[in-house]
Amino acid sequence: MKIFDGKQCVTALKANLKQKIEELPENKRKPKLAALLVGDLAASQLYVKNKVKTCEEIGMISEVIRAEENISHNDLLEIIYRLNSDETVDGYIVQLPLPKQIDESKILLAIDPKKDVDGFHPHNLGLMLLGLETFVPATPKGIMSILKSEKIKTAGAHCVVIGRSNIVGTPMALLLSRKGIDCTVTLVHSQTKNIKEFCASADILIAAIGKANFVTADMVKDGAVVIDVGINRIDDPSTPKGYRVVGDVDFEHVKEKASFITPVPGGVGMLTVISLIENTWMSFCRTENIANG
């Protein structure tokens, strides 16, 4: 059984991108990722901080635009329009969740699809559905990178995806069934009957349901590949913070059956920032007519 090393994988992906940026001609501008942060939610601040740090490490420019928690919908739209027309910005994200007074879907629709490096805009989701080049959302993109870098055999494999969210489960199922990847995919969700039986038949099991330790050892086939997308806080008075972060998979027991498993923390979550930055690089290459983006 192999436990995935997210840090090692990310280090290699970062080095690859850093080199590409270093090789840009001296007179060429550098790619730039912007993040729009509304309010001061601790988790959102941390995500954005990680994005800025990774940009610095690989030589990409980053900018954080901060807005007050009580910003009006129209004022937020003004910032979006400014980012859309700023030619120095190759891609940007609006950090979610947004405060209650903001209509999230309207904001996401206002993002220029050419700069939508989160891949959340219907235009980009449509391109993905058609198998055309686009920005793939960070988590599914990261999982595809893991399958590739670990040389996991996907052709003909039965892959069960647990969870049908717009940004993980649904795109994941689509990507895995593509020509060239060639999995047979089952998407199970909260209304599925016999979830356990479906999971136990999976060669590749992807858990993105948001329930701590949902996948138990009896739901896993011997030798299965298990990818854990969950990030759940559970109470643990023995830790200094009083809680710890666990995935959707009961790691300690499932690892005894799996041939390959991603841990939480240190697994899939490690890949999301670099995936976003890879999308930004792709956007830069399109704008600057650089091949191999």
Tell me which residues touch ligand GUN (CB under 6 A).
47, 93-96, 118, 138
Nearer to ligand GUN, 164 or 221 (CB): 164
Locate all alpha helices (DSSP H) within 115-268, ordered by sequence: 122-129, 138-149, 169-177, 195-200, 251-254
* Whether 51 is catalytic: yes
- Smallest distance from ligand GUN to CB 96, Å: 4
Nearer to ligand GUN, 41 or 152 (CB): 41
Q: Is 98 helix (H, G, I), strand (E, B) or coil?
A: coil
Q: Which of 116, 118, 228, 248 is catalytic?
A: 118
* Whether 95 is catalytic: yes
- Smallest distance from ligand GUN to CB 94, Å: 6
- Smallest distance from ligand GUN to CB 280, Å: 13
Nearer to ligand GUN, 195 or 230 (CB): 230
Tell me which residue has its CB nearest to ligand GUN: 96
CA nearest neighbour of 275 among 94, 161, 118: 118
- Smallest distance from ligand GUN to CB 221, Å: 30
* Whether 14 is catalytic: no
What are the contacts of 203-206 at 24+ separation with CB within 8 A?
A: 203/157, 203/158, 203/159, 204/147, 204/152, 204/154, 204/157, 204/158, 204/159, 204/160, 204/176, 205/159, 205/160, 205/162, 206/143, 206/159, 206/160, 206/161, 206/162, 206/169, 206/172
The residue behind tokens 């635009």 is 65
Are 225 and 260 in contact, with CB atoms under 8 Å apart?
A: yes
Q: Which of 32, 51, 115, 221 is catalytic?
A: 51
Q: Which of 20, 32, 90, 95 is catalytic?
A: 95
Nearer to ligand GUN, 1 or 46 (CB): 46
* Positions marked active-site: 51, 95, 118
